[in-house]
Amino acid sequence: MIDITEAAQAHFRRLIEREALPGLGVRLSAHMPGTTQADVRLEFAEPGDLAGDEEAIACAGFTLWVDQASVVFLDGARIDFEQQATGGQLQIRAPKIKGEAPPESASIKDKVGWLIEHEINPQLAMHRGMVELQEVTADGVVVLRFGGGCHGCGMVDVTLKNGIEKTLLAKVPGVTAVRDATDHDTGQAPYVPRSVA
């Protein structure tokens, strides 16, 4: 369920009335949902602009259409409009947009994938790097491939052992080790060249 306050509805209604287009409403969607880059998109839309599977929420004087694929990520969202001396500010809070951590019953692969996306890669991005999960073996070994500034980096072993492996061993029961399957000799732009490290 999405909560759109009366102040937000009044704000949208004023903007829609200025346009004077029959059936004009507001379309809400999640951009890159379930990731750390997730964001909410709001746009004015006419019925002809819609895909046809949107969820419709009747508001005072217009319809809020929610992109069907975004519904689960926007559940519990709140849209408000706060009047200020300089005009006003629209505020959208969507607590589930970046996804939710996998439950205790989830697979090791799902838990590792979540940590890589939401904790490990944001840290590696500070050095233009990233890592992706290649596989989790039957005996709990996580096999990774590094990219970006980590591909060919002279500090990748330290990153793997003191950062990634420590994190995964501590936070994902069943992980027994972490291995790097990257051919670091082919790295194009390492953060720290191997000859320096």
Tell me the per-residue pLDDT of 86-112, one tens digit each, with 9 for 90 and over.
888 999 999 999 888 889 999 999 999
Position 53 scores a pLDDT of: 93
- Looking at the structure, tell me whether residues 61 and 27 fall in a common domain: yes
7-19: average pLDDT: 94
Q: Are residues 43 and 79 in the same domain?
A: yes
Return the minimum-mean-pLDDT range out of 80-89, 146-155, 176-185.
80-89
% pLDDT > 90, the chain: 76
Are 79 and 122 within one domain? Answer: no
Mean pLDDT of 71-80: 95
| Section 132-161 average pLDDT | 94
| 39-42 long-range Cβ contacts below 8 angstroms, 24+ apart | 39/97, 40/74, 40/77, 40/92, 40/94, 40/97, 42/79, 42/90, 42/92
Which residue, of 93, 118, 139, is where some domain finishes? 93
Together in a domain, 76 and 152: no
Average pLDDT over residues 130-158: 94
φ and ψ at 144, to 5 degrees? -120, 160
* Domain annotation covers residue 197: no
Asked whether residue 42 carries a pLDDT value surpassing 70, the answer given is yes
pLDDT tops 90 at residue 193: no
pLDDT at 196: 57
The pLDDT value given to residue 197: 53
Q: Would residue 193 count as lying in a domain? A: no
Q: Is residue 101 part of a domain?
A: no
Average pLDDT over all residues of the chain: 92
Is 75 part of any domain?
Answer: yes
